[in-house]
Structure 1
Amino acid sequence: MTRDRPTGGWLRHLRAGGGRPIYLALVEALETAVREGELQPGDQLPPQRAVADQLGIDFTTVTRAYGAARARGLVEGAVGRGTFVRRRAVDDEAGLVDLSMNLPPPPQGVSLAALLKETTAAILDRTEVATLMAYHAGPGTPGQRAAGAAWLAPVLGEVGAERIVVCPGAQSALTAILTTITRSSVQSGSKPGACVIVEPLTYPGIIALAERLGLRLVACPVDDQGFLPEALARLCAEEQPAAVYLVPTTRNPVATTMGSARRRAVAAIVDTSEAWLIEDDPYSRLFDSPLPALASLAPERTFHIATLSKTLTPGLRTAFLAAPAGPMAARIADALHATTLMGSPLTTAVAVRWIRDGTADRILAGVRLEARARRAIAAEILPAARGDAEGLHVWLDLPTGLDAGGLRTLAAARGLALVTADAFAATSDHPAGLRISLGGPAKASLLREALRNVAALLEPAAIV
């Protein structure tokens, strides 16, 4: 396949019928070929007349399909040359506007590309490449751990660097914690820690990890602030869980934040139990005045995880874990070595340098500005959606019984990638809803149009 010779091989993906217009089936066939890599950016499509003749359909149908594909950003036209697969921007790599993945939006007034080039060059000028490219085991260098403690301070307060573990992302931190504490339960001869208490709707990563490790998830009743204290105390007594897991700030996926009084109540319950508290906190640094972390209220029983993926950029693959005082940081480092070996020394060096020289705060300020502007757009277009003014996502309740798969299919037909409540469900009995992520689209104008499409999709007449 070349860019200079038109190809029609993608037409084999055409699936007509099912009540769908043929032009839409053509667009979906094209989208499939792009997503699977059969069609690459710059590849030329056959002329519309040739497609109509090959399929035995009306020329105007193909014209409409090419127009719809152009509107979705799948193709672009060059006058006198033909139609070509579009060279993709980051936000539409799969031909869809992605409202399903929580990402920080592009920071206002800051060029990540320029900063990354400048910082990488500075690191390479000042560091032996052989050292940078070698294996780096353990919880992190003293300087890296000190930078992590400084990054956590606005939420966690002053914490000793010896409690900090540098991790290649939050998921690796979760893996290390759960493998460590469940192994400790078995070795101590106490009741096997086969249970983790979560909210009915929770982070999909903890669901996947629990399944992989053979852990049982128990859903605790909640209100709009999170765990109900009475229910949590009862479950801690009855289930004797290995851990209690929560995302207290901008709760994922339901987008509300646990207040100070509830945090104190939850911390007190776990502190008097035999369970560990895992506080997954990717969003607090987006707030000008974040609430104190639960780890500051129950420091002896709490693991606090803060990834940079939601506040700066996912590409750094860096998270900081504050472990309880004592030997836990070393045990977590051992678990990380066994599961992920190490993070990327180069991207960790970038993250640490940005924290030290204030660049991280500049990026964070730009992300905050853009995140709040996008949240205001969501409030305007989807007034029923709830979420913090500083949040990267909103939550929209949906009618009970609505077919989540059908909704996602309808959304894809409109060029949208959506995620519904079933992706976050720790139990079959859970609320129906839609988490809408606001940071993924590269431009606010693209987000605005996408949210208008969501609003139109959710009109009663649109849902069958």
Structure 2
Amino acid sequence: MSLPTARWLDRVDRDEGPIYLAILKALSAAIADGELQAGEQLPPQRAVAAQLGVDFTTVTRAYAAARARGLVEGAVGRGTFVRGRAAEDEAGLVDLSMNLPPPPLDLSLGRMLKETSRAVLDRTDPAALMAYHPGAGSLAQRAAGAAWLAPTLGEVAPDRILISPGAQTALAAIFTTLARRGDALLVEPLTYPGVLALAAHLGLRLIPCPTDDQGVLPQALERLCAEHRPKAIYLIPTLQNPVATTMGLERRKDVVRIARAAQVPIVEDDACGRLPGAPLPALAALDPDNVWHVATLSKALSPGLRTAFVAAPDAGAAQRLAQALRALSLMASPLTAAVATAWIREGAAEHLLAAIRAEARARQALAREILPAAVGGPDGVHVWLDLPPGRDPAALRASAAQRGLSLVTAESFAAGPIARNGLRISLGGQARRDVLAQALKAVAALLAAEPQDGRAIV
């Protein structure tokens, strides 16, 4: 058998007791050593039985034992696959810190990816996919981006759309286009950590703007624009990361009016803009001439696509941004860009989005039931939970780690002095809803316990 995922069979030692246990041990070692990666498909059981010269039932028993240990997963008609996060599951670690879209119920992302990749390769010269491509995307890719953004932006000309290998690259390109070292950037007090890292790298001064439950306060925004003359205002108006609030329509109108009057462009991070079933108009829809709109597919579909779309204020701004993108990343991955484009054009992206949205709603309902004080939009992939005054976040994280939970607290998002103590709880990282429920109950129990002398609770 020449399949790469069958090479682990060479590890099977027939002298180590029952043959099914020898197969199980070899499979476990191959996964632990990284020879087999999460998501890779194992060879069919009959093929394994034929290669090893054993009964089919012996291999079936070994695969069943691997499944019981959480090493593999599969279903009739699909095959058997190495399970993601097997190592964390065995260690008891539940990651509530990584913000991911939840796995959709009854929809195989792996199968979609495999089928679309095969179709792309069937209709495209592989040599063309492996060559250099236009840094800002082809016309077809830009048109697909415009179609994806239409529910929040309305109709946008493709010459204003650019494709980027992820939102982080897009934001870096925009900031280097708009600002220079020492310039000011207005942000929300708690904001996306990637922007904190970019500001530190580029030498930008972050000016936190006071907020309420709808985002930045208009009067404070107007005052800070006059005082600091920032080069840009960076905002996350929909399902804000980390505090999960959404800016209302009237507040959005006030914000774009103030920014335009101050002649300060807005950089709108709309990572979760497509998640709500009835999305509000993006800031870029209200004032397209003064807003740079960034919409990654990472929260709505999958971070593995490494694809984001940018709507620039006009075609000239798009050309300038294309030069910055080319300097930073040269181009987006042609294969993943082709997959994203195919999914959007053929309707698969909307189908996947609907499935992810449904799962997100179910998980939000779980969070509301178990953690009633948590704040989160009904279609969001995370919630925010304020901590009681004086609660030590470092002690809380340590206590959580001892209970097998990975948490992220306010200081990871702080653009200045921390005025709001809390934690962001991501709901999409766990494959199974029941595992998430157990983790949320553990968080509730941890918060209900009183800290003693400021020490971690064990």
Give the TM-score taking structure 2 as reference length. 0.81
* Counterparts of 2:33 and 2:402, CA distance in 1: 21
Within a 5 Å distance, the mapping from 1:143-182 to structure 2 comes to 143-182=140-179
Aligned residue among 193, 202, 221 for 1:213: 202
Within a 5 Å distance, the mapping from 1:421-432 to structure 2 comes to 421-432=410-421
Q: Go from structure 1 to structure 2 and tell me whether the alpha carbon gap of 1:325 and 1:193 turns closer, same or farther (over 3 Å shift).
A: farther
Please name the residue that 1:122 is paired with.
119
Per-residue deviation, 1:269: 0.5
| 1:327 alignment partner, SS class | helix
Q: Per-residue CA shift, 1:309-340, capped at 9, x if unaligned?
A: 00111110000000001411111111111111
1:90 aligns with 2:87: no
* Counterparts of 2:318 and 2:65, CA distance in 1: 64
Per-residue deviation, 1:276: 1.3
Please name the residue that 1:8 is paired with.
none
Q: Per-residue CA shift, 1:207-249, capped at 9, x if unaligned?
A: 0000000000000111111111000001001100010001000
Q: Which amino acid aligns with 2:174?
A: I
| 2:295 alignment partner, SS class | strand
Aligned residue among 308, 318, 323 for 2:307: 318
1:339 aligns with 2:328: yes
Q: Go from structure 1 to structure 2 and tell me whether the alpha carbon gap of 1:241 and 1:344 turns closer, same or farther (over 3 Å shift).
A: same
| 2:378 alignment partner, SS class | coil
Q: Per-residue CA shift, 1:40-72, capped at 9, x if unaligned?
A: 479xxxxxxxxxxxxxxxxxxxxxxxxxxxxxx
* Counterparts of 2:307 and 2:65, CA distance in 1: 48
1:328 aligns with 2:322: no
Please name the residue that 1:24 is paired with.
none
Per-residue deviation, 1:38: 12
1:355 aligns with 2:348: no
* Counterparts of 1:125 and 1:256, CA distance in 2: 44
Please name the residue that 1:412 is paired with.
401
Aligned residue among 288, 292, 305 for 2:281: 292
* Counterparts of 2:254 and 2:323, CA distance in 1: 32
Q: Go from structure 1 to structure 2 and tell me whether the alpha carbon gap of 1:134 and 1:282 turns closer, same or farther (over 3 Å shift).
A: same
Mapped contact 1:220–1:228 kept (Cα < 8 A): yes
Per-residue deviation, 1:367: 0.2
Aligned residue among 335, 343, 354 for 1:365: 354
Within a 5 Å distance, the mapping from 1:231-242 to structure 2 comes to 231-242=220-231
Stretches of structure 2 that go unaligned for 5 or more consecutive residues are 1-10, 14-27, 36-61, 73-81
* Counterparts of 2:174 and 2:85, CA distance in 1: 33
1:384 aligns with 2:373: yes
Per-residue deviation, 1:402: 2.0
Aligned residue among 248, 262, 265 for 2:254: 265
The count of residues paired between Structure 1 and Structure 2 equals 391
Mapped contact 1:40–1:85 kept (Cα < 8 A): no
Moved over 6 A (4+): 77-81
Q: Per-residue CA shift, 1:94-119, capped at 9, x if unaligned?
A: 44211101100111231111111111
Please name the residue that 2:52 is paired with.
none
- Percent same amino acid at aligned positions? 56
Q: Which amino acid aligns with 1:348?
A: A
* Counterparts of 1:156 and 1:85, CA distance in 2: 43
Per-residue deviation, 1:86: 5.7
Q: Go from structure 1 to structure 2 and tell me whether the alpha carbon gap of 1:86 and 1:124 turns closer, same or farther (over 3 Å shift).
A: closer
Please name the residue that 1:74 is paired with.
none
* Counterparts of 2:182 and 2:317, CA distance in 1: 17
| 1:285 alignment partner, SS class | coil
Q: Per-residue CA shift, 1:417-439, capped at 9, x if unaligned?
A: 11000100001232000100001
Please name the residue that 1:203 is paired with.
192
Q: Go from structure 1 to structure 2 and tell me whether the alpha carbon gap of 1:92 and 1:270 turns closer, same or farther (over 3 Å shift).
A: farther
Q: Which amino acid aligns with 1:170?
A: A
Q: Which amino acid aligns with 1:372?
A: R
Q: Which amino acid aligns with 1:103?
A: L
Instruction: Please tell me the root mean square deviation across aligned C-alpha atoms, in Å.
Output: 2.7
| 1:165 alignment partner, SS class | strand
Give the TM-score taking structure 1 as reference length. 0.80
* Counterparts of 2:70 and 2:213, CA distance in 1: 45
